[in-house]
Amino acid sequence: MKIVTTMKKMKYFLLMMVVAATTLVSCESLVDGLNDNPNKLTPEDVGAELFLTGAQLANIVTQNGHLNRIAGMYSGQLVGYTSLYSNIYGYNLSTVESNSTWRAIYVGVVPQVREIRRKAPDDKLLVGIAKVLEAHAIGTAASLFGNIPYSEVADPEIPDPKFDDQIEVFNSLLDLLDEAIVDLNDGVSRNLSEDIYYGGDKDKWIQAAYTLKARYYLQLKQYDQAYQAARDGIGSDDASMKFYPRGDETTSGDKNLFYTVLAGSRGGDIGNHGSYLMSMICPDTSWSRNNAKTNENARYWYYEIHEEGGPVNKGIIGMFEPMPMVTFAENQLILAECAARTVNFATALGHLNDLRAWLNSGAFLNDAFADSSYLYEAYNAADFASGGIENPDGVDPLQALLREIIEERYVSGFGTYMPFNDVRRLRKSDSDLIVPFPLNPGGTDQPQRLPYAFTEINANSNISEDPGLYEVTPVNR
Amino acid sequence: MKEKCLCGAIRRVGAFFLRRIGVLLLGGLLLAGSGPGLYAQALRVITGHVMDANGDPLPGASVILKGTTTGTVTDAKGAFKLSIPDTGHDTLVVSFVGYESVTVPVGLDNVYDVRLPLANRRLNEVIVTSLGFKVKKDESATTSSTVSSEEIVHSGEPLVLNALGARASNVYVARTNGDPGAGTNIRIRGANTITGSGAPLVILDGVPISNSTIYGGGNGGRDGGVSQQTRINDINPEDIESVEILKGAAAAALWGSRAANGVLVITTKNGKAGRLHINYQMTYSMDQVNQRYPIQNTYGQGRNGVYNPKSAESWGDYIPDRAGGEDDVDMTGRYFEAYGSGKKYYPILTKNSKETYVDSNWDDVFRTGGFLQHELSLSGGSQKTQYFFSFGRLDQNGIIRESYYDRTNARINVKFVPNSWFSSNTKAGYISSSSNRIQQSSNVAGVMLGLLRTPPDFDNHDYFGIYYDDNGVAYRNHHRGYRRYLGDGVPTYNNPMWTIHQQKSTSDVDRFLMMQEINIKPISQLRITLRGGVDRFGDHRIYFFPINSAGRDRRNGLLNEDMITEQELNFDAIVRGNFSLTDNLKVDATVGWNINDRQRQYNSGSVQGFTVDSRKPTTDLNSSAEATSFSNYYRDIRSNRGYYSFTFNILDQLFVTASGGLEAASSINGAFFYPAFDAAWQFSDLGLTSDFFSFGKLRASWGKVGVQPLPYRFQTLVDAGFTYSTYSDPLSVNQFGGGFRLDNNLGNPDLKPEMKTEWEIGADLRFFQDALSLSATYYSNRIDDLLINVGLTPSSGYETIYANAASMKNHGFEMEADYAVVDHHALKVNLTGIFAANRNEVTDLSGVESISLAPGSVDSRAMVGYPLGVLVGTGSLRDENGNFILDDHGFPQLTPTPVVLGDPNPRWTGSLGADATWKGFAFRILFAHSHGGAYSPRTLWVLRRFGTVEETAHRVTLDQDLYNFRGDLVPAGTTVRGNIEDFGGGPVLLDESWYRTGIGGGFGDNQAYNFAIYKATWTRLREITLSYTLDSKNFRARTRLSALTFSVSGRNLFLWDNIPGVDPEINQSGVNNGFGLDYFTNPSTRSILFSFTLSY
C-alpha cells in the first residue's frame, strides 16, 4: 500500500520532470527576426547613389583637412602660432593627429565607394566615380604615409589588413583609374545631385581620373607616362575638382574647412602670416618672385589668412570659398614639368604659358579681389636664358624653366598636398629645383611622411609602431 | 517533437483534472482534497471559533486534523465546522499567518474555541520568490531583504524606491535630486554592468513591469535638462504589502538575462475575508532644501577688485568700502523697465549701493515645498471573494517654485475562490501623474547655474520687462540677468527667475498595470498557475523655451515634444507540486514557461525659432517646414524561457534547491542556460537549541544571471546624418542634401548576454527565543562577457563593434540584525542594524583604455584595475612619496593628462534603527551612514572661479611676503582677498590668480581637480516618527471606528557630511552607472510630515 502510494506520488514527480525537460527546449523561433532594427535602413534599402555624398565629404576632409594643414606647415606654406598647431609646427606630431583623416579614408571613402560598386555594378557612371574616389583617397594616403593597407582593406572578414608597398599601391591605383576611365566612357552623364563635385558630368570625371593618373606617375617619377596621362587631364578650370561650400551664413558643417577651424575655438592657432610662401609672393621681400612679367599682388591678398578668423577672411579661406583638390593648374604644371623632362623646352614653356594666361585672366580670384593688380605675361625663351629674368644665376635654360615650373607648382598648389609632395619627390635627384623654404624653428630635417593613425597602430597586428616623420617612403628612396 | 511532448503533458494534466471533477460531482462536495479516510470511518462533527489573543475572530485561519489532509478554514466570524473520524485521540492544528500555530487535542467535546497568540516574531516569516510565491524564510537558502508595508509607509516617501533607502543591506538607493518625482538610482551589491542599465528587475505581483528612466530626445542628455522619473515610482507605496529584495544570483536565476542587477519583488495588498475595512489616511508634508551652498556677500561683481556690472565673476570691489546710497546712473539713453515693479534700470556709472541680495535671490527660487496626500482603501470579502480597492491622490509642490508633481492612483485587487481547486486573482492599477520640472545641471537654462553664479550685489528679481534702446525703441519681453543687467540682449545664462517662470518642462504620464492569475489544483499535490500581465504607459513631455531664453538653440524660442510609450506583456504558465517521496524526503517542484515582450516607442518633434512671442506650446509658433523637425524610434525585445526549480526537503532540516532556466531572447544569439543551486541547513535542528540559541541556519548558493545586450545590434546597417571632421572642421552630410554610409559600427550577430556568476555563503541565527536575529552573507561574483564598444582596425572599414569584451568582479559582505530588546506587555523596543560592504573591480576591457560613464571635466569612468565609476580628471603632479611637485613659487603643477582622482564607491554602508511602542504610542528612528568614497562637487569648484562661494571671500592681512599663483610677490602687511595655504613648499597666497585665472577653480581640463574631490562620507537621520493610535474598546464602541492614528515624522532632517552645500547622494548624471558628481544639480530636501489615519 505504502509503496503504491509512493509510486503514485513518484508518477506525478516524474511527470513534472518530463514537463521540465520539455519546457527547457526553449523556443528560439518565438524571438527570431525581432532583432532587425526598425529604426535604421539596411544597405539594401538605400540606393547606390545615396552613398556618394558621404564618401565625397570624407574625401574632402582627407584632401583639405587637418593633414593638409600639417603638410602646409611642413612645406613653408602655413605657420602654427599657438596651441596644438604650434606644437605640430615644431615637428611634435603625434600619431593621434592622423586618426581622423585615416578614418575618413578607410571608413568614410573606401567601404562606401565599394558599396556603390557592389550595389550598382551596371551603373557605369557611378562605378567610374566610385573608382576615381577610391584612387584619389588611397593615393593621398599612399603619398602621405608610404606603405599602407590597401589590398586587404574594407573586408570585415580580414580584421587586420596587411600593409602594402607604396609603389604597388600606386600601381594598383593606376590600374583602378584605367578601369574607371573605361567605365566612365561607357557611362552616360546625368543630373546627379549626390555628386557634389561634378553633378554627374562624366567628362569632368574622366579628366580628373587622367590628372590623378598623371599625379601618381609623377610621384613614381615616370614622367613620360605622366605627360601622356595629363594630356587627357583637366583641361579647364571649370573641370577642376573642388569642394564647394554651401548653406547660408547661419548654417554650419558646410563651410570652407579652414574658415571653420578659425571660426571656432581655434582662432589664432594657424595661418600663413610669416610663411615662406607669403614672402615669395609679397613684393617687398628680396626673394619675391615678382618680376617684369609677373605681379603677384592680387594673389598675395587673395591667399592671405587672417588667423583670428571670422568674416574678415574673404580670400582663399573665405566662408564660401571653394577648396582645391585636383585642379587645372596642377594638370598644366604636370604637363609643363614632364614636357620639360621628356619632350622639349618649347613644349614645356607653352604649357606654362597656358597656365599664366589663365592666371592673367584673373579667374583664380574671387570678386573681393577683382580690383587688385596682377600680371602673368607669357614668358619666352630669353627669360630663361642665362641672365634672363628667370635665370639670374645662369643655369641651364631648361633647368631654369623646370625651376620656375616647380616654383609655380609651389605657389599655385597652395591648399593642396602638391608642395609637400614635391619637396619629397625632388629630394634625391632634383634637390636644386626645390623651393628653398626654411625648416620651421626647432627643426633638424625635412619631414618625409606623416604618421600612421594611432587607432590603426593600436589595433592592427601587422604594425607595432610608426616609422616616424623622417623615414623616406619607397617612391622617394 | 517538442509540441507533441507538451501536448502529451497537457493532455495528461487535463485527464487528472477531469477525473477530479468527476469525483467532486460524485461526492456532491465542493471541498476537495479530503483524505481517503473520509468515507471509511465513522465521523463526528466538531465546531468552534478561532480568535486572536484579544478574542477578535480570525477569519481564514486553517484548522487541520494532524497527519491528514482533512481540514477547513474559518469563516468571516472565525467559526469552523469539521467532520473528523471518530478515533478519540486526534489533534487539531490551528494556524494563521502571523500567528503561532496551536495544537488542540480532540477530546470528547465537540466545540473548540482556540486563541492564537501572535507569532513568535520570526517563526512563520515568509519571503516572496522571484516567481511571486511565498516560501518560508527559514527554509530558504538565498539572501533577500524584506521591506514591509509599515516600513514603506512610515518612511513618508511618496516615491516607493526612496522608501527602500537604508532598509536593506547592500541596497544603495539614492534619489538623483530633490525635485518632486525625481528618478532614483538603485544598485544592489555594487555595479554589475558597465554599459547596460544598473537597475534591478521589478516584479509586481509576479509580473515584470517597466522600471525605465528615459531621458528622451527633448531632454538634451543626462547631465543637463531636467531630472526624469523612474517608472517604478508610479506605484503607490500605500498599496504595497511587501517588497522583497533578491540580491543574489541564485534567487534571481529564473529571470535569466534580466536578473543580474537583482530583483525587486513587490506584492500589493489583498483583501481578507471578513467585514469591510475602510482606511483613510491624509499626510501633509513640508519640504525644504537640505543643503545650501555657502555664498559670500562681501565682494561685488567684477574682476581684479574692480566693480564691473558686465563681468561674469564676483571678483570685484569690497562692498563695505562703497560709498553707500543710490548708484550713479546714466539716465540719458537706454534702460530696462521691469514688468510688475515698473522699476527702471539705467547704465551704472558708479556703484554706490552696499545692498546685497544673496538671501532674496535664493528665496525667489526656493520655497517650503510639500505635499498633501489622501489615501483611501476598502478591503474585505467573503470566503470566496476578497477585495482590496484603493484610491490615492498626491499633490506635491517642489521646493523650487513652479515645480510640482501630482499623482492619482487607483487599484482594484480581487481574489475569487469559488471552490477548492480553482482560484482567480486579478490585480489592476491605474496611475496618472503630471509634473513640471525645472531645468538643471550643465545647462545655460539651469536654475542653479544662474542662481549660484549671480554676484551677491545683483538683484535677480526684475528679470522680465521692456528694453528701450538709445533711440527710445521698445523691445518687449526682454530677459534681464546679471550678465545683461539692462536686458539689452539674452544673458549668457538664464536669470533663475526666467528658468522658473518662463520655461516649462512638463511630463504627463498615464499608466495601466494589470495582472490576471488563475490557479488550478487538479489534484492535491499539483497546482497550475497561469499568469498574464500587461503594463502600458505613455509619457507626454513638453519642453518649452520662449524667445530670449539663454542658449544658442533657444534664444529664438524652442519647443521640444516627446511622446514616449512603453508596453510590457508577460505570460507565465507554472506547475507546482509537492511530493513526499519518503517520510524524510519531500520535494517542492516548480516547472514553468514564460514569454515576455517589451516595446518602446518615442516620437520627438521640435520647433525652433518662433515667429510669435507667445507662451503657448503650439507648433503654430513657427509653421515653416524648416523650423520643424520630427524623429521616431521603436524597439521591441522579446524573450521566452523554460524554467524549473526543485527543492528537496530532507528531514525538515536540509533544503537543497536546483533550479535553472533556458532562455532565448531576441537580442541574443542562441539560447542560454541560467543554472542555480542552493542549500539551507537548519543545523539548530540537531538539538542545539537552548534559551540562548533558538535557531541556526547555514546557507550556500551558486548561480548565473545575465544582462541582455542592447537590441538591434546584429546587423551592420546604414547611418544617416553623420559628420566628418578632422580637427574642428566638421562637414555634415545633412547640409549636403543628406546621404548614407555603411555604419562604422560593425554588426555583431554573435551577441551573448553579460553573464554574472555568483556564489555566496551565509548564516541566519536567532538567539534569546528569537528575540535577536542575525543574518550574514559573504558573496563573490564575476561578470564576464560585459558588453562594450571595442575599437576595430579602421582599415578593415569599421571602427567599432559592440561586443562581449569586458569583465568585472565584486565581492562583499552584508549583515542584518534585529533585536527585540524589550517586549514587556505594553512596551516593546526593537533595534535594527545593517552593515554592508562591496568591492568592485573592472578586470578587463579588451584593450579599451577607459569608458566614460558620465562625461565631464571630472568624469566617472570604467578603467581596468579600478572600481567602476572612478573619478578621472587632470590633477596635480606628485612625486613617488605622494608629495606635490611644486613650481618655483610653491604651487602645484598640473598633470599633463587626466589621472584617477578618487573612487566614488563607499567603503561600507550601514544603518541603525529603533522602534518602540508603548500603549498607543509608537516611535521610530533610523540613521543611515555611508563611509568613504569620493565625491566631486564641481559646482563648488566652478563657483571659486566665479568668486561667489564663501571660501573665496576671506580677507587676510599677510604677516610675511607671499607669492600668489601668478608669481607676484605680495608684501607683508597687505590686506588681500584670499587664503593662505601650504602645499608643502611653505605658505603661498591663494587669490584671484589661483581661483579665477589659475588652476584652482574653473572649467576644462586645465584644472587641479584633485582639489575638487571631497570625502563622500555622510550620516543622516533618515527617518524619525512619533505616532499615537487611539483604538481602545471605549473609543471603538463610541466611534464605531477601529482606530485613529496621528503621527508626525521627519525625513532627512539632519545630514552630517564633509561637503559644504551639497548632499552627496545627488547625482548630476541622473539615473546612471556614472556617479559621484554634482554640477549645478537641483538640491535635495528634508521634510516634516503630519498624518492621520482613520480605520473602520
Q: Hey, are the CB atoms on A102 and B743 less than 8 Å from each other?
A: no
pLDDT at B15 over 50: no
Distance of CA B683 to the CA centre of its chain: 37
pLDDT tens sequence across B463-499: 999 999 999 999 999 999 999 999 998 998 999 999 9
Q: How many residues does chain B have?
A: 1096
Q: pLDDT higher for A284 or A209?
A: A209
B341 touches chain A (CB under 8 A): no
Averaged pLDDT score across all residues of chain A: 93
How high is the pLDDT of residue B29? Answer: 32
Chain segment B454-468, per-residue pLDDT in tens: 999 999 999 999 999
| CA gap A56, A52 in Å, rounded | 6
Q: Find the Cα–Cα–Cα–Cα dihedral A394, A396, A398, A401, rounded to 10°.
A: -20
Q: How far is CA B541 from CA B226, B334, B404, B604, B618, in A?
A: 11, 39, 14, 9, 13
Q: Residues near B11 by Cβ (< 8 Å), separated by ≥ 6?
A: none
DSSP, res B1072: S
Task: Report the length, in residues, of chain A.
Answer: 477
| pLDDT at residue A24 is higher than 70 | no
Each residue's pLDDT tens digit, B971-1029: 999 999 999 999 999 999 999 999 998 899 988 777 899 999 999 999 999 999 999 99
Nearest 10 degrees: Cα torsion A242, A247, A248, A250: -120
Within 13 Å, how many C-alpha atoms sit on residue B890's CB side?
Answer: 16
Cα A253 from Cα B724, distance rounded (Å): 9
Q: Do B9 and A22 touch (CB under 8 A)?
A: yes
Chain B CB contacts of A25 under 8 Å are 2, 642, 662
B895 and B1011 Cβ atoms separated by less than 8 Å: no
Q: pLDDT band at B41, cuts 50/70/90? A: low
pLDDT at position B553 over 50: yes
Q: What is the DSSP letter of B163?
A: G
Cβ <8 Å between A39 and B2: no
Q: Does pLDDT of B19 surpass 50?
A: no
> Is residue B9's pLDDT more than 70?
no
Q: How far is CA A77 from CA A27, A420, A440, in A?
A: 67, 9, 11
Q: Shortest CB distance from A459 goes to which of B12, B575, B791?
A: B791
B797/A101 CB distance under 8 A: no
pLDDT at A27: 67
| pLDDT attached to residue A119 | 96
Q: How far apart are the C-alpha atoms of B998 and B1006, rounded to whole Å?
A: 9
pLDDT at B126: 84
Which has the closest alpha carbon to B311: B996, B830, B1070, B934?
B996
Query: C-alpha distances in angstroms, A90 versus A84, A417, A419, A451?
Result: 10, 19, 19, 15
Query: What are φ and ψ of residue A101, in 5° steps?
Result: -75, -40
Cβ within 8 Å of A, B 567-606 = 575, 577, 579-582, 587, 589, 591-593, 595
Half-sphere exposure of B271 (CA within 13 A, CB side): 32
Q: State the pLDDT at residue A281.
A: 93
The three-state (H, E, C) secondary structure of B678-690, written as one string: EEEECHHHHCCCC
For residue B842, CA distances in Å to A367, B383, B786, B863 come to: 61, 55, 10, 6
Question: Does residue B444 have a pLDDT over 60?
Answer: yes
* B-chain residues near A158 (CB < 8 A): 796
Closest to A109 in 3D by CA, of A169, A163, A62, A160: A62
Nearest CA in chain A to B590: A16
Average pLDDT over residues B248-277: 91
Mean pLDDT over all residues of chain B? 90
- For B938-1017, list the strands marked E by DSSP: 955-957, 962-963, 969-970, 975-977, 979-982, 987-990, 1014-1015
Instruction: Say yes or no for a CB contact (<8 Å) between B717 and A258.
Output: no
Cβ neighbours of B742 in A, within 8 Å: 43, 51, 111-112, 115
Instruction: Report pLDDT for B989.
Output: 97
What are the structural domains of chain A? 1-200+444-477 (1.25.40.390), 256-439 (no CATH)
Q: Which residue of A has its CA nearest to B749?
A: A35
Give the per-residue pLDDT at B102: 83
Q: Å from B662 to nearest chain A CA?
A: 6
3-state secondary structure (DSSP) of residue B27: helix
Cβ–Cβ gap B2/A101 under 8 Å: no
C-alpha cell at B1: 517533437
Q: How far is B246 from B234, CA to CA, in rounded Å? A: 21
**Higher local confidence (pLDDT), A172 or B178:** A172
0.90 surpassed by complex ipTM: yes
Which pLDDT does position B34 carry in this prediction?
A: 37
Mean pLDDT for A124-139 is 98
User: In this prediction, what percent of chain B has a pLDDT beyond 70?
Assistant: 95
What pLDDT does B59 receive? 83
Instruction: From B189, B194, B172, select the one nearest B860 (Cα to Cα).
Output: B194
Confidence bin at B17 (pLDDT 50/70/90) = very low
pLDDT score recorded for residue B62: 86
Residues of B in contact with A112 (CB under 8 A): 741-742
B28 has pLDDT over 60: no
Give the residue from B795, B846, B1005 with the most A CB atoms within 10 Å of its CB, the best one to mutate.
Answer: B795
**Which chain A residue has its CA at the smallest distance from B735's CA?**
A254
Contacts of A385 (CB under 8 A, 6+ apart): A391, A397
d(CA A256, CA A244): 8
Q: What tens digit of pLDDT does each residue of B86-95 get?
A: 776 678 888 8
Calculate mean pLDDT across residues B78-83: 87
Is residue B4 pLDDT above 80, yes or no? no
Please, are residues A26 and A84 in contact by the beta-carbon 8 Å criterion? Answer: no
pLDDT of residue B123: 59
Least confident of A125-129, A279-283, A405-409, B125-129: B125-129
Asked if the model's pLDDT at residue A297 lies above 90, the reply is yes
How far is A435 from chain B, CA to nearest CA, in Å? 28
Cβ atoms of B880 and B888 closer than 8 Å: no
Give the tens place of pLDDT for each residue, A220-266. 999 999 999 999 999 999 999 999 999 988 788 999 999 999 987 78
| Stronger pLDDT, B686 or B366, i.e. the higher one | B366
A 10 A CB-CB count for B69 gives 14
- Chain B residues touching residue A258 (CB < 8 angstroms): 729
Describe the crossing of helices B2-27 and A2-23 by its angle, rounded to 10 degrees: 140
Residues on chain A touching B9 (C-beta within 8 angstroms): 15, 18-19, 22
pLDDT value at A99 more than 70: yes
What DSSP designation does A106 have? I
Q: Point out the residue among A24, A254, A266 whose CB comes nearest to the CB of B662.
A: A24
Q: Which residues of B touch A9 (CB under 8 A)?
A: 525, 579-581
Per-residue model confidence (pLDDT) at position B113: 87
- Beta-strand ranges (E) seen in B155-200 are 171-175, 184-188
In chain B, what residues touch A261 (CB-CB under 8 Å)?
727-729
Chain A residues whose CB is inside 8 A of the B15 CB are: none
Shortest alpha-carbon distance between residue A112 and chain B (Å): 6
> For residue B675, what are the β-bridge partners?
B660
B32 — pLDDT class (breaks 50, 70, 90): very low
To 10 degrees, the CA torsion angle through B1073, B1074, B1080, B1085? 50
Q: Do B728 and A260 touch (CB under 8 A)?
A: yes
B209 φ/ψ sector (left φ>0, alpha ψ -120 to 50, else beta): beta
Q: Exposure string (b/e) for B210-234, b if CB count within 10 Å is 16 or more?
A: bbbbbbbbbbbebbbbbbbbbbbbb
Model confidence pLDDT, tens digit, residues B280-316: 999 999 999 999 999 999 999 999 999 999 999 999 9
A26 pLDDT above the threshold of 80 = no
Q: What backbone torsions phi and psi does residue A447 show, to the nearest 5 degrees?
A: -55, 140
Spatial distance between the Cα atoms of B322 and A287, rounded to a whole number of angstroms: 62
CA distance B790 to chain A (A): 10
| Residue B796 forms contact with A (CB below 8 Å) | yes
- Give pLDDT tens digits for A340-359: 999 999 999 999 999 999 99
CA distance A397 to B861: 67
Q: Which three cell numbers stand for residue A435?
A: 623651393
Residue B742 has pLDDT above 80, yes or no: yes
Which residues are paired to A342 by β-bridges?
Answer: none
Q: Residue B121 has what pLDDT?
A: 54
Whether the pLDDT of residue B6 is over 60: the answer is: no
Q: Is the pLDDT of residue B8 over 60?
A: no
**Best CA proximity match to B371, nearest among B623, B168, B207, B157:** B157
The pTM of this model reads 0.86
Q: Which set of grid coordinates corresponds to residue B534?
A: 500587461
| pLDDT of B868 strictly over 50 | yes
The answer to whether B54 touches B118, Cβ cutoff 8 Å, is no
Q: Which of B845, B738, B729 is nearest to B783 (CA)?
A: B845
More confident residue, B737 or B119: B737
Task: Write down the number of H helices and E strands in chain B.
Answer: 9, 65
User: What is the mean pLDDT of the segment spanning A413-418?
Assistant: 97
* Residue B35: per-residue pLDDT: 38
Nearest beta carbon to residue A12 from set B577, B791, B797: B577
Least confident of A59-68, A130-139, B572-581: B572-581
Nearest 5°: phi and psi at A463?
Answer: -145, 140
| Lowest-confidence segment of A122-131, B222-231, B695-704, B836-845 by average pLDDT | B222-231
C-alpha closest to that of A313 among A261, A376, A384, A237: A261
Report d(CA B696, CA A381) in Å as an integer. Answer: 111
Question: Which residues, listed in sequence order, are joined to residue B646 by a DSSP beta bridge?
Answer: B589, B658
- B45 pLDDT band (50/70/90 cuts)? confident
Residue B589 has pLDDT above 60, yes or no: yes
Return the C-alpha cell found at A429. 635627384
The predicted pLDDT at position A9 comes to: 60
List Cα–Cα distances, B669 to B260, B714, B751, B1058, in angstroms.
18, 9, 6, 48
Joined together, the cell numbers standing for residue B726 give: 578632422
Q: Do B640 and A27 touch (CB under 8 A)?
A: yes
Band the pLDDT of A23: cuts 50, 70, 90.
low
CA-nearest of B716, B713, B643, B255 to A34 is: B713
Per-residue confidence (pLDDT) for residue B26, from 0 to 100: 37
Instruction: Calculate mean pLDDT across residues B371-384.
Output: 94
Q: Would you call A65 and B727 a contact, using CB atoms and an 8 Å cutoff?
A: yes
Question: Confidence class of residue A25 from pLDDT cuts 50, 70 and 90?
Answer: low
* Partner A contacted by B740 (CB < 8 A): yes
Residue B782: the pLDDT is 97
Q: Using an 8 Å Cβ cutoff, are B700 and A23 in contact?
A: no
